[in-house]
Structure 1
């Protein structure tokens, strides 16, 4: 790096040269911004990814955009996160949309709320099958077609 700035005569020239080396020219900056915006638009929570991992990945994209001069409002960021979550999160995000003022919600508050919900779901799944899982299992067993002997037994019981 020194070899690139050793010919500069003033501190201003050195600074401008360093900026050009590190950030690139206007075209390079524009290309970096375009790529970062594409990442932002395409971001989705991956299968098996924890909320903490998604938070870190999303925040990295937002920081990159900020460093390139593109900023989003808290509302835009919060809505983007909600849209980037898998369908399993729809109930939670809909409840949050209805109960909270998204204009005032900070991104870190959203992720804290989602991480708490994720933890609650994990805790429930570790404590055994839920009522809904039992209901689904029961529905699956009763939906099986009856054999002729089971059918006759059911007729006898009903008479």
Structure 2
């Protein structure tokens, strides 16, 4: 069962990257003395049940893609006639050309450089906002060192966090701390701050 699913997944990916499958057979009308036989397209009347499934995979793959798209995106690909064409159009729309990618990267870097914790924002909310920028940067091929990321988070915090951020800087853990661990630590401090204020 597992092998069949894997083969079907391979066939599905082939359809996305190379287009609909042609159902082929060896040409027995030509004698082959050495090497592989010449392949020709099978007539529909010769198709087996397996051949029919393979031929139908493009329709299945298109249906899967259609179901994942919102109305706006669907309207941009609805004229595409094969899964391969849909995939190429989606790649172009989502990734864009080199100039588009460069522009997206510049915007993401600006978001990173200018991020500040908002008044009334919880550490959970700030964590989500900051992490989404990091994911965007990583997807565009931009990465920062752990220390640089940790310092950016701490500089983005309001003044009431100064005691905590100074202590963290002096502890010299910034080169090793993962982003999720840093935010976990800050969330504990936020909770303690709340208790003191009450």
Q: Distance in 1 between matches of 2:102 and 2:190?
A: 38
Q: Could you report, residue by residue, the CA deviation over 1:23-77 in whole angstroms, capped at 9, with x for unpaired residues?
A: 1111111111111111110000111111111111101111111111111122111
**Does residue 24 in structure 1 map to residue 59 in structure 2?**
no
- Cα distance in 1 for partners of 2:153, 2:142 equals 17
SS of corresponding position for 2:116: coil
SS at match of 1:113: helix
Match of residue 76 from structure 1: 148
How do 1:45-84 residues align onto structure 2 when only pairs under 5 Å count?
A: 45-84=117-156
Shift in Å, 1:21: 2.2
- Give 4+ residue runs of structure 1 displaced > 4 Å after superposition: none
Q: Return the alpha-carbon distance in structure 2 between the equivalents of residues 47 and 66 of structure 1.
A: 27
Within 2, Cα distance between the matches of 1:23 and 1:66? 14
Indicate the structure with greater helix content: 1
More RCO (CA 8 Å, sep 6+): 1
Instruction: Identify the residue that residue 116 of structure 2 maps to in structure 1.
Output: 44
2:179 alignment counterpart: 107
Q: For structure 1, list consecutive stretches of 5 or more residues without a partner in the other structure.
A: 127-159
Aligned mate of 1:92, from 142, 164, 186: 164
Unaligned runs of 5+ in 2: 1-76
Aligned to 1:132: none
Q: CA separation in 2, counterparts of 1:14 and 1:29?
A: 20
TM-score under structure 1 length normalisation: 0.70
Match of 2:107 among 12, 35, 49: 35
- For these two proteins, the number of residue pairs brought into alignment is 122
2:39 corresponds in structure 1 to none
Q: CA RMSD in A?
A: 1.7
